[in-house]
Amino acid sequence: GQQLNQSPQSMFIQEGEDVSMNCTSSSIFNTWLWYKQEPGEGPVLLIALYKAGELTSNGRLTAQFGITRKDSFLNISASIPSDVGIYFCAGPSGGGADGLTFGKGTHLIIQP
């Protein structure tokens, strides 16, 4: 099946720093989704990308759909304490259903 590899696995940063994380796939994706999950909650959709090369922003978050369609990047500028959480990339599982394949996540920890 399709696999998504996220890196880094975890990040320890200072408040105010910029953050970059990425996601690579073993196969081509037509859609890339970035979610954030906080303890005790379900994932929340941050950004959706539908076209190779697309660059989309949501406030301090910016994500890009890689040209090869096998990768995507998420950047967070000027991190704040509420950015703490686990960030997941996801793409369609295929097979005609709407199910998503998720990466293992990047755990973001911010030190004040």
Partner 1 sequence: DAGVTQSPTHLIKTRGQHVTLRCSPISGHKSVSWYQQVLGQGPQFIFQYYEKEERGRGNFPDRFSARQFPNYSSELNVNALLLGDSALYLCASSVGGAPDPREQYFGPGTRLTVT
- Residues near partner 1, by CB under 8 A: 1, 4, 31, 33, 35, 40-45, 48, 50, 88, 90-93, 95-105
Least Å distance, CB 105 to partner 1, is 6
Shortest distance in whole angstroms from residue 49 CB to partner 1: 10
Cβ 58 to partner 1 shortest distance, Å: 13
Query: Could you give the 3-state DSSP secondary structure of residue 39?
Result: coil
3-state secondary structure of 81: helix
From 90, 36, 40, select the one nearest 60 (Cα to Cα).
Answer: 36
Under a CB-based contact definition with an 8 Å cutoff, are residues 28 and 51 in contact?
no
Residue 66 or 91: the one with the smaller Cβ distance to partner 1 is 91
77 neighbors 90 (Cβ within 8 angstroms): no
Nearer to partner 1, 63 or 90 (CB): 90
Peptide bond into 8 cis (omega under 30): yes
Return the number of the residue (81 or 96) whose C-beta is nearest partner 1.
96
